[in-house]
Chain A
């Protein structure tokens, strides 16, 4: 069965500093991995995905994620955090058994401190 884990419920970072939101996965075979962001009172928005190819994936709003097969990780990163990046971030993995549904992690709340 596919699953993802987000080990940190909360991440705090100062504005202008680099940020990392962690995600590890458990998948048989090659994973299809995603990051979504949820701003207050909004639905989830797609940020980026890894299907195959380059291990560094670039997405929306200056975010990127690094796929690491040996560590089974897919951490979300941004070189310089903005206060407006404060939100709830979800990692997800795609079901490869046929339905192609997404399984989401429990979410990490990122707070960027001015």
Chain B
């Protein structure tokens, strides 16, 4: 869905490197999320943001940080990447109020840490 875009789509990096994954949305939603997907584990929430000034840790935030640069942009950083952060990362958005339950996902970023 082009409404939520993620860059890069694929990234291979080395242990210890700093990595930033970017997410942009044109849906006008206030809420944005970062998840990681691992085989057999489903999706797990890393961070979420209800607006530019409201950022919250999710289930597995250790080793990650985020920045909400604008309503439309939400970046995920790995300060010092390690191999067990190899995963598929998804950004998602949702509206506020009655629409908060339906989330719209980007295409994902496949990250490999060697």
Contact = CB atoms under 8 A, between A and B. Distances in A.
Nearest to B9: A41
Contacts of A29: none
Contact of B107 (A42, A90, A100, A104): A42
Contacts, number: 52
Q: How large is the interface on B (under 10, 10 to 19, 20 to 34, 35 or more residues)?
A: 20 to 34
A41 B106 CA distance: 11
Contacts of A99: 48, 56
A44 interface: yes
B58 A101 contact: yes
A104 B60 CA distance: 14
Interface stretch (B14-22, B35-43, B75-83): B35-43
Given A94-B101, A101-B48, A44 B107 contact: no
A43 B105 contact: yes
A51 B102 CA distance: 12
Contact of A41 (B48, B58, B107): B107
B4 interface: yes
A100 B41 CA distance: 21
Given A46-B103, A102-B101, A104-B44, 5 more contacts: A44-B90, A46-B104, A49-B101, A102-B45, A105-B42
